[in-house]
């Protein structure tokens, strides 16, 4: 929902507004810049810096020590399921690796671990998550910026969108608390808080992994480029009503067509249209192949017979039984009496597919053995 809000802000901002956008975790900034140029009507510059201002070192907590991540992978060393958190924080404080953010998956765990470590002498520990009041969270963030806190147990609310740089980030879990692995982008967001520009020469990222099998995934996430941002644009009722009031229905449709979602899907839309055109061409080709081409084709014979039947029914005298009897085989083809009394002409469907009237009632053929093969095939069809 925040992404939708940002799109609306960009689209509705006055053309005279100058926009400056900063991010360390967007992989398709060039695409966003191209969209901005299209919808804002002025050149957009895309600047990319690949070098990190404060380099980072990644390690793994293991039995009271910190091993470099690549060594822990080679030696298959892990932290275990329940690390002694008071001991972890004491070591960070002793080695000068505070302040630190310790990311854990749930609010309840934040509160429990903060209470558990608060009794350690010399440590100032807090919890930070979305279940707290805004005033409490802002107060904790100010304490962190003033250097009054050693560690904060937090959820991903401190991973993005808030200015909370620290010297050390501890990734306290490799799943989200429901058994799902933490996405690589979120790992990058959390780790990105480690290293304060102008204060630290190096930032530290320490991983607490229950098994050694989790470590290669962390190594992969560390080196992956940022994910692309994909639009989830969906106009709210408030936005639609406001647009209709201000610019009318056509203006509201134009607004939606200028969204980042529409911009991103231009190629998909064009490809879908090409696929539809190709399918239409192929369908017309197949219909041409299947079109009846000769009188032996049942697709030609049966419509002709139905049309002739309707025409003859209009010529029959009123008041009689004006329906054709079931056909039967005869030497001339398939015979149909004009009415149940077998009076006057009989309608004949020949093997060649023609219809004609016979002035007499032909005899039924005795059996299939004496039938002309064309007649037999015609009746069977």
Backbone CA torsion sign across 221, 222, 224, 227: positive
Return the pLDDT at 342.
47
Cβ atoms within 10 Å of 174's Cβ, excluding its own: 21
Return the pLDDT at 325.
46
Q: Within 13 Å, how many C-alpha atoms sit on residue 227's CB side?
A: 11
Return the pLDDT at 371.
45
Among 117, 109, 95, 119, smallest CA distance to 155 is for 109
Token output for 50? 């690949």
Per-residue DSSP letter, 66: E
Return the pLDDT at 89.
92
Return the pLDDT at 369.
42
pTM attached to this predicted model: 0.60
Token output for 27? 């992989």
pLDDT, tens digit only, all 381 positions of the chain: 566 778 888 888 888 899 998 887 788 889 999 999 998 888 999 998 888 889 999 999 888 888 998 888 888 888 777 788 999 999 999 999 999 999 998 899 999 999 989 888 888 999 999 889 989 999 998 898 888 999 999 988 777 666 778 899 999 888 877 778 888 888 888 888 888 888 889 999 999 888 888 888 888 888 888 888 888 777 778 778 887 888 888 888 888 888 888 888 887 788 888 899 999 888 888 877 776 555 555 556 667 777 777 776 665 554 443 344 467 778 888 887 665 554 556 788 888 777 888 877 787 775 544 444 544 454 454
What CA–CA distance (Å, rounded) separates 376 from 298?
14
Token output for 211? 């098994």
Return the pLDDT at 152.
92
Angle at 74 between CA 72 and CA 79, to 5 degrees: 25
Strands (E), the chain: 56-62, 65-68, 100-103, 125-128, 151-154, 168-171, 203-207, 328-330, 333-337, 346-349, 355-358
Return the pLDDT at 370.
42
Return the pLDDT at 124.
92
What CA–CA distance (Å, rounded) separates 20 from 36?
11
What CA–CA distance (Å, rounded) separates 124 from 104?
18
What CA–CA distance (Å, rounded) separates 131 from 143?
19
């Amino acid at each position: 929902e925040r992404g939708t809000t940002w799109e609306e802000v960009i689209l509705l901002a006055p053309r005279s507004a100058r926009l400056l956008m900063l991010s360390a975790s967007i992989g398709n900034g060039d695409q966003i810049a191209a969209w901005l140029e299209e919808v804002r009507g002025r050149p957009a510059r895309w600047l990319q810096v690949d070098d990190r201002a404060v380099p980072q070192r990644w390690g793994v907590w293991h039995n009271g020590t910190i091993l470099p991540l690549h060594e822990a992978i080679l030696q298959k060393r892990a932290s275990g399921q329940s690390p002694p958190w008071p001991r972890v924080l004491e070591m960070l404080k002793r080695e000068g690796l505070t302040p630190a953010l310790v990311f854990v998956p749930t609010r309840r765990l934040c509160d429990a671990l903060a209470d558990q470590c608060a009794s350690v002498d010399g440590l100032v520990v807090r919890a930070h998550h979305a279940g707290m009041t805004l005033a409490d969270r802002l107060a904790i963030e100010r304490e962190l910026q003033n250097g009054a806190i050693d560690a904060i147990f937090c959820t991903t609310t401190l991973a993005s969108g808030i200015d909370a740089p620290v010297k050390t980030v501890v990734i306290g879990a490799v799943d989200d608390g429901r058994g799902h692995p933490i996405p690589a982008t979120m790992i990058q967001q959390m780790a990105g808080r480690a290293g304060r520009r102008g204060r630290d020469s190096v930032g530290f990222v320490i991983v607490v992994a229950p098994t050694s099998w989790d470590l290669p995934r962390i190594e992969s996430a560390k080196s992956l480029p940022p994910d692309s941002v994909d639009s989830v644009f969906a106009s709210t009722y408030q936005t639609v009503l406001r647009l209709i009031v201000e610019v009318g229905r056509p203006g509201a449709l134009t607004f939606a067509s200028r969204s980042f979602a529409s911009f991103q899907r231009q190629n998909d839309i064009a490809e879908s249209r090409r696929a539809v055109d190709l399918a239409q061409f192929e369908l017309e080709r197949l219909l041409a192949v299947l079109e009846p081409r000769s009188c032996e084709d049942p697709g030609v014979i049966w419509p002709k017979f139905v049309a002739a039947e309707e025409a003859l029914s209009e010529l029959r005298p009123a008041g009689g039984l004006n329906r054709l009897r079931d056909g039967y085989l005869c030497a001339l083809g398939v015979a149909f009496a004009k009415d149940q009394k077998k009076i006057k002409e009989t309608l004949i469907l020949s093997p060649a597919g023609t219809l004609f009237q016979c002035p007499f009632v032909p005899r039924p053929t005795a059996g299939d053995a004496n039938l002309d093969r064309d007649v037999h095939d015609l009746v069977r069809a």
